[in-house]
Structure formats: structure tokens, C-alpha cells
Structure 1
Amino acid sequence: MALTNPIQFIQQVRSEIAKVVWPSRREVFLTTVMVFVMAALTATFFALVDLGIRSGLHGILSLFG
């Protein structure tokens, strides 16, 4: 591994940061909203699956109990 002096390192970091394309405020807002929507949909799906499994098991166990 080649050692780089601190000045070269800082110059390389600054040049790499200059290449980064930062999202706009609107893009950040829309992706945040989409994350919350997808999280809500996923939570609803798993709640329904849990309810179905619980009802099915309750039904099966009530037959034998």
C-alpha cells in the first residue's frame, strides 16, 4: 500500500467530492415520501399475513381442542 502525504490525500478527497452529484431538495422529499409509503404498505401486508396465520391456527386448534 502506497503512503500518501496528507496534502495529496486532501486534494484527492476534494476532487472526488466534486464528482458527487447531490440530489435536489425535491428528489430528497419524493424519495423520503416513497420510503414511508413503502414501509406502510409492507407493515400492512405483514399485519394481514399475521392475522391470517393467527386466524388459521386458531381455527385448526379449535377443531382439536
Structure 2
Amino acid sequence: MAKVNPGAFIRQVRQEASKVTWPTRKETLVTTGMVFVMVFLASMFFFLVDSGIQVAIKAIMSLGS
């Protein structure tokens, strides 16, 4: 791997950083909203699955007593 002096490294970092395209405020808000919606849907799914497993285990355990 070739060694690069600190000045050249800083120039390369600035050159690469100038290529970055940042999302607009609207894109950021829409993406954040979608993340919250997906987190809510996933939490509801796992809550329902957990509740179903709990009911099934209680039913199985009541058979033994």
C-alpha cells in the first residue's frame, strides 16, 4: 500500500467529501417517518406472536394439571 503524506491525504478526503450528496430535509423526514411506521408494525407483529405463544403454552400447561 502506497504511503500518502498528510497534505495529500487531506486533499483526497476533501475531494471525496465533495462527492457526497446529502438528502433533502423532506427526504430525511419521509425516511424517518417510514422507520417509525416499520418499527411500530414490527413491534405489533412480535406482540401478537408472543401473545399467541403465551396462550398456547398456558393451554398446554393446563392439560397437565
TM-score (norm 2): 0.95
Equivalence map 1:32-51=2 (5 Å): 32-51=32-51
Name the % identity: 52
- What is the DSSP-based 3-state SS (H/G/I as helix, E as strand, rest coil) of the residue aligned with 1:11? helix
Q: C-alpha root-mean-square deviation of aligned residues, in Å?
A: 0.7
- What is the DSSP-based 3-state SS (H/G/I as helix, E as strand, rest coil) of the residue aligned with 2:44? helix
Mind listing any 5+ residue stretches in structure 2 that lack a counterpart?
Answer: none
Partner deviation per Cα, 1:14-57 (whole Å, 9 max, x = no partner)? 11011111100000111011111100100000000000000001
Moved more, 1-10 or 45-54: 1-10
Counterpart residue number, 2:62: 62
Counterpart residue number, 2:4: 4
TM-score (norm 1): 0.95
- What is the DSSP-based 3-state SS (H/G/I as helix, E as strand, rest coil) of the residue aligned with 2:63? helix
Mind listing any 5+ residue stretches in structure 1 that lack a counterpart?
Answer: none
